A and B are shown apart, each in its own frame.
Chain A
Amino acid sequence: DGGITQSPKYLFRKEGQNVTLSCEQNLNHDAMYWYRQDPGQGLRLIYYSQIVNDFQKGDIAEGYSVSREKKESFPLTVTSAQKNPTAFYLCASTFKGVGTTDTQYFGPGTRLTVL
């Protein structure tokens, strides 16, 4: 079945540690996105990538980093510079990432908790 997978589902981190969240899609989608979700704030865009080896900052990129070495994969690293990393992280992807608005499809999410 085609879809978007995120792992792990739950992640615990000690303060000062970097952690990497995985996002993989087998939909042959061009563009991929990372969102952060906090209660009462909706979804906020962290980073997005329209093509392999290219990515752009979203609205809240500080303290995060990404890579896009393969079309299928868009991992997100939450660094120790992110002051309030506890949140629910959602990955999304869409076909035809350039020049059109196509539907974004979402993965199941990763809940990150900083201890």
Chain B
Amino acid sequence: AQSVTQPDIHITVSEGASLELRCNYSYGATPYLFWYVQSPGQGLQLLLKYFSGDTLVQGIKGFEAEFKRSQSSFNLRKPSVHWSDAAEYFCAVGGGGATNKLIFGTGTLLAVQP
């Protein structure tokens, strides 16, 4: 079955500390992978995406993610967190095809301590 797992429901980090949010997927074909961020009461904003090529992907706001096929993972990282990064983060996987459907994880809520 196709699925996305974000094992951390809630993470708290100190401002300036590094961050890694985990994402594992189960997908039968070559996956297309996405990270989105959502502020409270808002829509989702795309942080970065991986379709092919270099497995280390750079995104907006200083985020990056690394695709590891052998581990079925696509973890999101940031070297130094800012208070404005506090939000909920969603990992998603898709495979193209006729429907363009995405499967979303349940999200990780990030809190940033001063």
Contacts and interface: CB of A to CB of B under 8 A. Distances in A.
Interface of A: 4, 6, 31, 40-45, 48, 50, 56, 58, 88, 90, 92, 94, 97-109, 111
Contact of A101 (B4, B41, B45, B51): B51
B49 A103 contact: yes
Interface residues of B, number: 27
B9 A40 contact: yes
B95 A40 contact: no
B25 interface: no
Interface in B1-38: 4, 9, 32, 34, 36
Contacts of A43: 44, 90, 104
B73 interface: no
Interface in B71-95: 90, 94-95
Nearest to A41: B106
Contact of A50 (B41, B43, B46, B100): B100
A107 B41 CA distance: 11
Contacts of B36: 106
A102 B100 contact: yes
B34 A103 contact: yes
B43 A48 contact: no
A87 to B, nearest CB: 13
Contacts of B95: 101
Contact of A97 (B9, B49, B90, B100): B100
Contacts of A98: 98, 100
Q: Which of B45, B100, B105 is the most central at the interface, judged by chain A CB atoms within 10 Å of its CB?
A: B100
